[in-house]
Amino acid sequence: MSFHRPALVVLGASTFFYVTAETLPVGLLPQISTGLHVTEAQVGLLLTSYAVVAALSTIPLTALTMRVPRHTLLAVTVAIFAVSQAAATFAPTFLVLALARLVCALAHGVFWSVIGPIIARLAPPDQIGRATAMTFIGNSLAIVLGVPLGTAVGQWLGWRVAIGLMAAGGAVCVALLLAVLPKLPPLPRDMAMGSGARLRNAVLILRDRRVARLCAVTAVLVIGHFAAYTYIAPLVRRDAGLDGAGLSALLLGYGAVGLLANFVVGRYVDRRPGPVLLILIGVQAVSVVLLAPVLGTVPTILVTLLWGGAFTAIPVFLGATPMRVAPTARDAASAVYVVAFQVGIGGGAFVGERFVTAGELGMLPLLAGVFAVLAGILVLTSREVFPSRISADDHHRVSAEAAAAH
């Protein structure tokens, strides 16, 4: 079996637009705040509300859609994304904008819970991690190009134009998915189960210690990251005086370093996940803590770029893990992993908003560093989830377990 490259490329493009649209308010806090007459802290809560809805809906909606062909389901989730972004483009009030994003959030969780198992069906057993890294280049490009260019467009032509481009991109992705994604019928095991049984299985997968550990690492790390990242605009404005074009350029550099890191470490996802993940978490912890004091322009730019490089590569390792630790229940494991990630995004954005409202913006980098250290300790004590080395025999064993279950 070889890579189905066209399908993986289109999957990557879809992740690009999803990630860009979800995090675009980070770069457009001032513009949305001014345009809809709300505070920047309230705009920051757009990430929280989105993540809460995605977290609450992912498991039940994933369970209810198990009998839908995977290629059809993925196209539907991207179509909902495109429609919701179009609605957000013309939102007359902040409430309408928030509601449009919440509709998108309902599809978001299902999209991310099925994309991992789909990647696993499009790649050889011993290269699922590499295929995941290839697809997740879309995530990195969202940070490299999507958010900074969206921020620049929003500052130049208005935030509505930036969101409208997300709607157009989503519509193109729907057409491409329908054209290149092979038919992927639901697995026989899922067809045989009722909705109630599928929902119970999705929840009970957390009894698997390895899946629970993965979710704990994910939630802790992402809470800390998004507590600070959601407010990166006011942070770098405070530390480096960057705003407008300067902020766009910094976000571009942040993502560019992340893309490079993704390329460099992607080859180790299938071989040395534990050690490389620990290195990335360590770099993230140190770099984000260095943002706590007011450093000045050049040091702030350098440590922000390190932070971007480390964190942007981390989801590649986390996202490939459900396929490896739960080969007999990949959809369920992916669903709870997505919930953990969304809990992290929503929890982090909420904590960040509380600190900013209290006038403690400078504490956010310290908080992010503490959470990164805690996540590193969990990784270090979870060798069965993030092993030091994975052999070819291990990959074939996992593949055999998955085939036997299906």
- pTM over cut 0.85: no
Q: Which of 148-152, 179-183, 380-384 has the lowest mean pLDDT?
A: 148-152
Distance CA 263, CA 330 (A): 25
Range with the largest mean pLDDT of 77-86, 223-232, 331-340: 77-86
Q: What integer pLDDT is reported at residue 216 of this predicted model?
A: 94
Least confident of 89-93, 363-367, 389-393: 389-393
Task: Dump pLDDT digits (tens) for 290-324.
Answer: 887 766 777 778 888 888 888 888 888 888 888 78
Helices 245-265 and 297-325 pack at an angle, to 10 degrees, of 40
Query: For a pLDDT cut of 70, what percent of the chain falls above it?
Result: 87
Average pLDDT over residues 225-244: 76
Which of the listed ranges 23-27, 200-204, 241-245, 283-287 does the model predict with the highest average pLDDT?
283-287
Transcribe 114-174 into DSSP letters: HHHHHHHHTS-GGGHHHHHHHHTHHHHHIIIIIHHHHHHHHHHH-HHHHHHHHHHHHHHHH
43: burial class by Cβ within 10 Å (0-12, 13-18, 19+)? buried
Task: Give yes or no for residue 280 having a pLDDT over 90.
Answer: yes
- Taking the C-alpha atoms of residue 338 and residue 361, their distance in angstroms, rounded to an integer, is 28
> Which residues lie below 8 Å from residue 90, measured CB to CB, with a gap of 6+?
160
Q: Tokens 């929890």, residue?
A: 347
Sign of the dihedral defined by the CA atoms of residues 3, 178, 107, 31, in that order: positive
Rounded average pLDDT over 97-114: 89
Confidence of residue 239 (pLDDT cuts 50, 70, 90): low
* 11 or 62: which leads in pLDDT: 11
Q: Cβ distance 151 to 163 under 8 Å?
A: no
Q: Of 21-25, 44-48, 255-259, give the range with the top mean pLDDT.
A: 21-25
pLDDT of residue 378: 95
pLDDT exceeds 50 at position 375: yes
Q: How far is CA 84 from CA 79, 168, 252, in A?
A: 9, 11, 26
State the chain's mean pLDDT as an integer.
82
Lowest mean pLDDT among 189-203, 338-352, 359-373: 189-203
Whether 44 and 169 have beta carbons less than 8 Å apart is answered as no
As a whole number, mean pLDDT of residues 100-112 equals 89
Q: Say whether pLDDT at 397 is over 70.
A: no
DSSP per-residue letters across 74-86:
HHHHHHHHHHHHH
Q: What single letter denotes the amino acid at residue 300? A: T
The DSSP 8-state label assigned to residue 267 in this structure reads G
Q: Please give the Cα distance from 171 to 186 (Å, whole number).
A: 24
- The per-residue pLDDT for 401 is 47
In the chain, domain spans: 5-186+198-405
**Measured between alpha carbons, how far is 135 from 276 in angstroms, rounded to an integer?**
19
210-227: pLDDT as tens digits: 989 999 999 999 999 989
Calculate the alpha carbon distances from 328 to 71, 197, 295, 378 in Å.
Answer: 20, 15, 49, 24
Q: Could you tell me which of 365, 351, 356, 362 has the C-alpha nearest to residue 33?
A: 356
For residues 170 and 108, the model is more confident at 170
pLDDT at 350 over 80: yes
Domain 5-186+198-405 -> CATH class? mainly alpha
What number is the average pLDDT over the span 12-22?
90
Residue 391 CA to residue 150 CA, distance in Å, equals 42
Residue 264 or residue 287, greater confidence? 287
Q: What pLDDT is attached to residue 404?
A: 47
Instruction: Give 37-75 pLDDT, tens digit per residue.
Output: 888 777 777 777 887 888 888 888 887 887 888 889 999
pLDDT at 100 over 50: yes
Q: Are 274 and 390 in contact (CB under 8 A)?
A: no
Q: Which of 134, 102, 113, 137 is nearest to 22 (CA)?
A: 102
List, for residues 179-212, the tens digit of each pLDDT value. 998 888 876 555 545 555 556 666 667 778 898 9
* Cβ-contact 227, 21 below 8 angstroms: no
CB burial string 211-239: b at 16+ within 10 A, e below = bbbbbbbbbbbbbbbbbbbbbbbbbbbeb
